[in-house]
Amino acid sequence: MRPELAEAARILGRARRVVVLTGAGVSAESGVPTFRGEQGLWKTYRPEQLATPQAFSGNPELVWEWYQHRQSVVSSCAPNPAHHALAELEGRPGSITLITQNVDGLHRRAGSENVLELHGNIFRARCTREGGVRQFEGKLKCECGAWLRPHIVWFGEQLDPVILEGAFSAARRAEVFLAVGTSSLVAPANLLAGMAAQAGATVIEVNLAPTPLTVEADFFLQGPAGEVLPRLLAKDPPP
């Protein structure tokens, strides 16, 4: 085991309050495209065309077409060893808060129960008139006649204040903050690691490549999440 990985695993193993923030990279090995980078979704579609309230009011059918396409991609994917390693973490003593920017639902499918979905869920829809949230079942209009929209936080939209406050308060109380597979570019999720560090947490980053967080992290574990996390979170890590 690489020495920094062994040291990070030791600190994690002793911590009682662990907060994990995941991004698109944690689902990449499941086959879900990331947002940025060479193979990223944004290389194919411009975000301002599809992931904004303006795009939806201009052409709701087009936006829904994109989301239904992504629903079918995600439905054909399965959780990978990174999701499973994080789900197993819930069985340990102490508190684990899993915060995800992902909308794919793969953490829950892997068995994680305590998940804060910061940016919504691709399989849910919300009435644009009444605000009610339900599972998306193929209908684009609510019974009340108004459009349903994806239950997703688009650029320029506020995050759910209850979920965001839950994430902030967990970060402020964390002993260890683990950031996995996120470019750390999108606010306010990218503020969480700094909040935890300021409150004294050890920050561990797992990513294929350095990000703006890397210089502030105590440990940067470079590699695919599906390989690094099972080793980092193993109950009895090898010496």
Q: Which listed range, 36-44, 56-64, 89-97, 129-137, lies at the site for ligand BJW (CB under 6 A)?
A: 36-44
The answer to whether 234 contacts ligand BJW (rule: CB under 6 A) is: no
Binding ligand BJW by CB under 6 A: which of 96, 142, 225, 232? 225
The answer to whether 209 contacts ligand BJW (rule: CB under 6 A) is: yes
**Which residue in 221, 212, 218, 163 sits closest to 191, CA to CA?**
212
* Distance (Å, whole) CA 8 – CA 12: 6
The answer to whether 224 contacts ligand BJW (rule: CB under 6 A) is: yes
The answer to whether 191 contacts ligand BJW (rule: CB under 6 A) is: no
3-state helix, strand, coil in the chain (%, to 5): 40, 20, 40
The answer to whether 34 contacts ligand BJW (rule: CB under 6 A) is: yes
Structure tokens given for 6:
């062994």
| Residue ranges in the chain assigned as alpha helix (H) | 3-14, 25-28, 41-44, 47-50, 53-58, 60-75, 81-89, 106-109, 161-173, 192-198, 225-232
What's the half-sphere exposure (Cβ side, CA atoms, 13 Å) at 145? 0
The answer to whether 35 contacts ligand BJW (rule: CB under 6 A) is: yes
Smallest distance, ligand BJW to C-beta of residue 126, A: 14
Structure tokens given for 215:
């210089």
Q: Is residue 69 among the annotated active site residues?
A: no
x-or-dash string of contact with ligand BJW, 98-117, rule CB under 6 A? ---x-x--------------
Q: Catalytic amino acids?
A: 119
Given the rule CB under 6 A, which residues bind ligand BJW? 23-25, 28-29, 34-37, 40, 51, 101, 103, 119, 152-158, 181-183, 185-188, 206-209, 211, 224-225
